[in-house]
Amino acid sequence: MSTDIADLLARAQALAPEFEAWRRDIHQHPELGFEEHRTSERVAEALQGWGYQVTRGLGGTGVVGQLRRGSGTRRLGLRADMDALPITETSGLPHASQHAGVMHACGHDGHTAMLLAAAKLLAESGRFDGTLNLIFQPAEEGLGGAVRMMQDGLFEQFPCDAVFAMHNMPGYPQGHLALREGPAMASSDYVEITLHGVGGHGAMPHRAADPVVAGASLVMALQTVVSRNVDPLGMAVVTVGAFHAGQANNVIPETATLKLSVRALDREVRRLLRERITALAQAQAASFGCTAQVDYRDGYAVLVNTPAETALAREVALALAGPQQVTLQAPALPGSEDFAFMLEKVPGSYLLIGNGDGQEADHPFAGHCACMVHNPGYDFNDRNLVRGAAYWSLLAQRFLD
């Protein structure tokens, strides 16, 4: 490890208590998407205090802190998400959520704290020549805060030559860095299929057109989209998460509704899924004397990491953590992330930092850190504040060298 990196890690370690307190305060006061008023105001005030030019209100509650040094023309964007989830926390931790029914169950409190710690490091002693844009984004959890920020002129007001983001990942050892070039996270679309039949008495089904039977057949037929239409070497998910119909055991209802989650790692596969699901719904309905109304809503795009930017991200990871703590080409994930929309506009890369695998005997909350995200017992691993802040600082300095 070089002297410069050792010094960077030492400075990040010195800031750890301050930003652990930051992270736990945010965890105790979680806010849902587009409601991150307290969080964004605290972020903005801190950035101003460290000398950043701060812009509030992009995407509603988004914040951008900009720091310019020298005469360089390179422009870098680093993004962290700020929103929490509508989950009741059951961790029992001393810093557990104080807001009933809302918690930071995905680690966005930690993502915010890591980027804030890097912001302070870079303001105090960062050596770079160019423009640094720190993007604190609202509403990542299904509400498309990234799109809202871009609609409000994010990249017009703050042009970036590249943009990066980081997410914690339980199951990887604490601090392990995992990168991937190419498609890294899946698209996520939402489908609601309403089957219209003819209601009737349960004792006389021949005088009705039963949408429940049509729906049951459709659930099974949809499984063939992945097994028989998608290339076996590709990836696709079609999940029927809800099936609603009827109220009484002796009444055939007029309608039945299915709700689907649909995911893909390839844009062409995503298009194919839409085509086949729509055709199957209509054909299955017709075969039972019913009709199908298909409401297909595009959600998050496929997240694609660009080659040059991922190469830089890997270089920084190896310099900071060493080859034993870096995965250079991690498996793709079927989860979704609205940073994908930023990567459709600007080249960049999205990486993972291990939140813990539960094997840290000296960590008081190891089990909570190894717990999967979106679980009511989950907690961000505060030991990642040092590596995360150092990573962002080193990446910024190398990109804007």
pLDDT tens digit string along 362-384?
A: 787 878 888 899 999 999 999 99
pLDDT tens digit string along 98-134?
A: 999 999 999 999 999 999 999 999 999 989 999 999 9
Query: Given this model, what pLDDT does residue 361 score?
Result: 66
pLDDT tens digit string along 54-74?
A: 999 999 999 999 999 999 999
pLDDT tens digit string along 199-238?
A: 999 999 999 999 999 999 999 999 999 999 999 999 999 9
The model's confidence at residue 1, banded by pLDDT at 50, 70 and 90, is: low
- Measure the CA–CA gap between 136 and 116, rounded to whole angstroms: 9
Residue 58, token pair as written in the block: 């992009």
Query: Given this model, what pLDDT does residue 33 score?
Result: 97
Query: Given this model, what pLDDT does residue 364 score?
Result: 77
Query: Given this model, what pLDDT does residue 106 score?
Result: 97
What percentage of the chain has pLDDT greater than the value 70?
Answer: 100
pLDDT tens digit string along 3-26?
A: 799 999 999 999 999 999 999 999
Average pLDDT over residues 172-199: 97
pLDDT tens digit string along 308-345?
A: 999 999 999 999 999 999 999 999 999 999 999 999 99
Q: In sequence order, what are the residues at sequence separation of 6 or more whose Cβ sits closer than 8 angstroms to the Cβ of residue 83?
A: 31, 32, 33, 34, 35, 36, 108, 138, 139, 140, 141, 143, 145
Query: Given this model, what pLDDT does residue 204 score?
Result: 96
pLDDT tens digit string along 73-89?
A: 999 999 999 999 999 99
Query: Given this model, what pLDDT does residue 308 score?
Result: 98
Give me the chain's average pLDDT, please: 96
Residue 274 has pLDDT above 70, yes or no: yes
What percentage of the chain has pLDDT greater than the value 90?
Answer: 95
Query: Given this model, what pLDDT does residue 366 score?
Result: 79
Query: Given this model, what pLDDT does residue 78 score?
Result: 98
Query: Given this model, what pLDDT does residue 365 score?
Result: 81
What are the two backbone dihedrals, phi and then psi, of residue 182, each rounded to the nearest 5 degrees? 90, -160
Radius of gyration for the chain, computed over Cα atoms and rounded to the nearest angstrom: 24
pLDDT greater at residue 48 or residue 370? 48
